[in-house]
Chains A and B, each alone.
Chain A
């Protein structure tokens, strides 16, 4: 098994997707966004996300999950490895932004989409005239691209504050 696939498997184990049970859209969406956010914490898995139409989304990561699902059926080399303590500590920061706020107005998949999208629009996405936008402009762009999130401004503000608390409004990544 390639070492990068071993690492991916260990990371997926840590975030609860180790058996790659991603038979439904919601699970796939959660996984895509969690990996996006995890990379911001300083675990660089090499996946570059694009906006495409409803991003952030990484086709290469989607492909790797398909391949890995296959591989773990006949290769268990990953059992000989574990994440080191420094890496393990980064998941705590992920949980600070990824954990669902206590409200029925949003589910986990939508929450992660909200957080990831705000970050992506702030730091990576491009539009004409973009110049270090703040929350209002970012949220406006979010609403234009994703109408299903346009009515969730209060929650978006919570997401923005969580990103800010860990330093991801000032900076694109933590490392």
Chain B
């Protein structure tokens, strides 16, 4: 590592020493960057994996470190492939890539706005005048753009070091036409850090990939990251590991349940005007040179949950908040989990559940033996992780041959450089397990109920079973 990146060293349990330049040290020391210490990387996963409390702060450092290692790896093969200036900017972009994250990462950002109602209606209903609707919350990358270009502490540090903040934003968002988009590539640096870091902090082994070997075998060809064939197994391991991490952490039934409960809480708070009502309010808050944005971390939501756990004016909100505080997640009463090939139909049960749930839940609410109101049910059709992003309309042979094409969707696949120098998409290699796994599509449907005991949960499971599989039950 060059001396200019050894102005300060931070010890990281995942990567070891992480070196920082003087500017990077100053950026990290800004109150705006320090806010990331208060945003957990994995949201509510700590409810299942108690040590999963690592924050976006150390993740951002980790991403910067991996970016740097990869760029050094490129330069070791061709010194001119990345200029010193671009090297510097890529590191800073990696450091700041998550600076706009919301409390509990993605949970608050994705309130259901119903914005599609502006554009469509149910058949037979008359047209209604556009009710004025508050502007949606900006996505975290848009918020990040505001933070980098308009918050005084970050902006002035960058400009004071001859870096245009817009340059950094463009790199983060993949909008820079001169600098390769390594933050969002097929082997992106973000994923490489979070897999390893999440694995470390949850205690699960699935994300422990051979990062060093992968990084040392990457090349930059035609602005794209390509991995040498000898590191193919490491890449396959990484992609498989990601799949297992999704199933055991990111979509763990209890983690997911808590997250859905939080989404309900956030929506109720929003309806009642207890949190920022519009995206404009959020953007204004992020821009202002005040401490309000600095307090916009997990603690912002934690305090609201604490406060409303005893809310006598809203029993539903109070019950939800108490359930979070006392670790009483919604009960999973039914789940269908399948792996099918891309062009296969899902099972009959899956189709019936998906299609019929909105009517069935009304029935259950009225059923004397169940009698649980609709707002206490959670139904989710969850998009599972794929091993590789494969276009379902292409044959693998096609996808393998089309490396040279300008087809953007193929640019997202992992590319391998063989000893011959030929570059192909990983999944086209019939000796790779990914060749077969990439055509599998996970399907996952879950039904949860809030505030019931195990006996009631079993009763409901039986009722759903009767509905979906009557012939099996006789």
Contact = CB atoms under 8 A, between A and B. Distances in A.
A83 B407 contact: no
Interface string A19-55: 0001101001100100000000001101010111111
Given A73-B345, A75-B355, A54 B393 contact: no
A9 B419 CA distance: 45
Contacts of A52: 174, 181, 184, 408, 411
A3 B114 contact: yes
B407 A7 contact: no
Given A50-B175, A50-B184, A53-B411, A74 B119 contact: no
Nearest to A9: B120
Given A3-B116, A84-B119, A85-B127, A126 B176 contact: yes
Contacts of B130: 86
B166 A50 contact: no
Interface residues on B, range: 35 or more
A3 B408 CA distance: 27
A54 B120 contact: no
Nearest to A69: B392
Interface in B338-378: 345-346, 350-351, 354-355
B177 A4 contact: no
B120 A53 contact: no
A119 B323 CA distance: 49
Contacts of A80: 122-123
A127 B354 contact: no
B175 A74 contact: no
A25 B116 contact: no
A128 B178 contact: yes
A166 interface: no
Nearest to B173: A50
A150 interface: no
Contact of B407 (A10, A28, A55, A84): A28
B392 A66 contact: yes
Nearest to B390: A66
B272 interface: no
A107 interface: no
A18 to B, nearest CB: 14
Contact of A84 (B120, B166, B174, B412): B120
Contacts of B141: 48
A87 interface: yes
Given A53-B224, A83-B119, A63 B389 contact: yes
Given A54-B406, A126-B177, A7 B354 contact: no
B455 interface: no
A145 interface: yes
A81 B115 contact: no
B181 A82 contact: no
B458 interface: no
B170 interface: yes
A155 B439 CA distance: 41
Contacts of A62: 391, 408-409
Interface in B92-128: 114-123, 127
Interface in B203-254: 222-224
B313 interface: no
A59 interface: yes
B69 to A, nearest CB: 22
A164 interface: no
B43 to A, nearest CB: 20
Interface string A53-65: 1110101001100
A128 B168 CA distance: 11
Contacts of A130: 166
A15 to B, nearest CB: 14
Contacts of B121: 81-82, 84
B79 interface: no
B116 A7 contact: yes
A28 B394 CA distance: 12
B420 interface: no
A130 B176 CA distance: 11
Interface in A91-124: 121, 124
A87 B393 contact: no
B441 interface: yes
B77 interface: no
Interface in B160-175: 164, 166-167, 169-170, 173-175
Given A53-B224, A69-B392, A75-B354, A3 B117 contact: yes
Interface of A: 1-4, 6-7, 10, 22-23, 25, 28-29, 32, 43-44, 46, 48, 50-55, 57, 59, 62-63, 66-67, 69-70, 73-75, 77, 80-87, 121, 124-128, 130, 141, 145
9 contacts: A3-B116, A22-B393, A28-B407, A55-B408, A62-B408, A73-B345, A84-B119, A127-B176, A141-B177
